[in-house]
């Protein structure tokens, strides 16, 4: 991202530490995706039948339909689509999926479950759709948005989201190498006009994790494809860092004064609707904090930058396969800038954890006011291998 705001984190020392130590990469949201799991992406297959239910949920939506197999037997199928947030950001609505409609699906079968499939394209009552089709892409009008609130604070209110991303084929058309890319660069990448290196050069630097011995041992033992180890597959929070951008959610900022007279910012992390409160102007954390996913956050203004300090975490997962301890400490810096003539919210972050991290885990990310309003989404993991 080419945001015109400086990086204020200790980037050079971090790079030196990384050069001197063994490290592992945690994927950035713009270039990461779930992978195809047990869906056999090299096998193409078609199904047709009657729609019985549309599960518009995170982290994947699932279309359910009754199909008649070659023997004349009715088979109930459940076929994976993108997350509800992504579908709705693409301009799709629940009204498009009427129970009883005729559905034809082209996609890929599941390795172990004959009643599951992965949707590439489909027709519903004769209307053809692609998995990643975009039906709307309207920019948000910010011409009348106030830059500051009445009390002088920078206006952070709103629904913020990273740029919409779509599953993109490489220039050679190999579906096994498809990758999630920002919508603005997807077509050029598929056409061979730009490379992944070109795209990465415009993205925030990939945060790196430098392990302690305990951190490396925990990472080596971590099963990223298990809902027991990986909160992602059990509809549970991961961390304030990963959940901010993972799977391109819409996050909501509400900046206000409580009835008790305290200035706060409430944030809802849109992937699984997790909540967090930042106490504005508080100088110190309480002596006693009940450990939790969100910890305890205090925020203070450094000019027009909101600096947020958070401690009090319950042990968990920073980002698979990296675990986090109750000693994790996160510092974030939120600021408003402009990129490509759009209002942008930049979050710089630095994570320390003496149990698992031998050096700070640091980078930044950028969000824009969402073209689709924030809406709480149901989380229901329906992928066959993650059922518990």
- Our CA angle for 200, 230, 238, nearest 5°, is 65
Coil, helix or strand for 12? helix
* Residue at 30 is within a domain: no
Distance CA(135)–CA(372), nearest Å, equals 12
Distance CA(213)–CA(226), nearest Å, equals 23
What is the per-residue pLDDT for 182?
A: 84
Distance CA(15)–CA(201), nearest Å, equals 16
Distance CA(318)–CA(349), nearest Å, equals 13
Distance CA(152)–CA(135), nearest Å, equals 39
What is the DSSP secondary-structure string of 106-125? EEEEBSS-TTEEEEEEEEET
Distance CA(157)–CA(129), nearest Å, equals 35
* Residue at 329 is within a domain: yes
Mean pLDDT in runs of 10 for the chain (388 residues)? 38 33 38 68 93 94 91 91 89 92 95 94 92 77 89 93 84 86 89 94 90 98 93 92 90 96 95 92 96 97 96 98 98 89 92 98 95 88 82
Helix or strand (DSSP H, E) at 149: none
Distance CA(44)–CA(106), nearest Å, equals 7
* Residue at 229 is within a domain: yes
Residue 214 has φ and ψ, to the nearest 5°, of -65, -35
* Domain total in the chain: 1
* Residue at 65 is within a domain: no
362 and 350 Cβ atoms separated by less than 8 Å: yes
For residue 5, what is the DSSP state? S
* Residue at 87 is within a domain: no
For the chain, helix (H) and strand (E) counts, in that order, are 6, 21
* Residue at 70 is within a domain: no
State the greatest distance between any 2 C-alpha atoms of the chain, in Å, as a whole number. 71
Question: What residues contact residue 200 under an 8 Å CB cut-off, 6+ apart?
Answer: 31, 206
What is the per-residue pLDDT for 241?
A: 96
The pairing of beta strand 116-124 with beta strand 74-80? parallel
Residue 111 has φ and ψ, to the nearest 5°, of -65, -40
Could you tell me the residue range of the domain that residue 372 belongs to?
Answer: 160-386
What is the per-residue pLDDT for 31?
A: 41
* Residue at 103 is within a domain: no
Distance CA(37)–CA(117), nearest Å, equals 12
């Amino acid at each position: 991202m080419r945001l015109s705001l400086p990086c204020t984190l200790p980037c050079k020392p971090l790079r030196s530490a990384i050069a001197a130590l063994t490290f592992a990469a945690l994927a950035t949201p713009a270039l990461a995706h779930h992978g195809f799991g047990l869906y056999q992406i090299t096998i193409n297959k078609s199904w047709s039948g009657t729609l019985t239910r549309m599960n518009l949920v995170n982290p994947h939506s699932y279309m359910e339909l009754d199909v008649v197999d070659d023997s004349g037997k009715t088979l109930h199928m459940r076929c994976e689509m993108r997350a509800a947030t992504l579908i709705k950001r693409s301009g799709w609505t629940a009204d498009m999926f009427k129970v009883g409609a005729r559905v034809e699906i082209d996609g890929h079968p599941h390795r172990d479950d004959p009643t599951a499939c992965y949707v590439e394209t489909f027709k519903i009552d004769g209307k053809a759709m692609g998995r990643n089709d975009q039906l709307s892409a309207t920019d948000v009008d910010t011409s009348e948005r106030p830059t500051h609130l009445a009390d002088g604070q920078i206006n952070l209110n709103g629904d913020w989201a990273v740029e919409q991303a779509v599953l993109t084929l490489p220039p050679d058309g190999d579906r096994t190498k498809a990758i999630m890319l920002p919508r603005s660069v997807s077509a050029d990448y598929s056409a061979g006009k730009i490379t992944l290196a070109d795209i990465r050069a415009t993205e925030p630097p990939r945060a790196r994790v430098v392990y302690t011995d305990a951190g490396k041992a925990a990472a080596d033992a971590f099963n990223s494809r298990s809902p027991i180890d990986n909160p992602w597959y059990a509809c549970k929070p991961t961390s304030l860092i990963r959940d901010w951008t993972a799977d391109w959610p819409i996050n909501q900022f509400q900046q206000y004064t409580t009835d008790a007279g305290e200035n706060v910012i409430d944030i809802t992390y849109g992937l699984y609707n997790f909540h967090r409160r930042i106490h504005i102007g508080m100088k110190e954390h309480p002596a006693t904090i009940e450990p939790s996913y969100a910890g305890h956050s205090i925020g203070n203004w450094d000019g027009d930058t909101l600096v947020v300090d958070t401690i009090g975490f319950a042990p968990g997962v920073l980002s698979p396969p990296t675990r986090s301890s109750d000693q994790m400490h996160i510092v974030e810096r939120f600021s408003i800038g402009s990129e490509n003539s759009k209002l942008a919210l930049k979050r710089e972050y630095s994570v320390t954890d003496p149990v698992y991290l031998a050096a700070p885990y640091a980078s930044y990310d950028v969000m824009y006011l969402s073209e689709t309003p924030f809406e709480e989404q149901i989380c229901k993991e329906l992928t066959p291998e993650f059922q518990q």
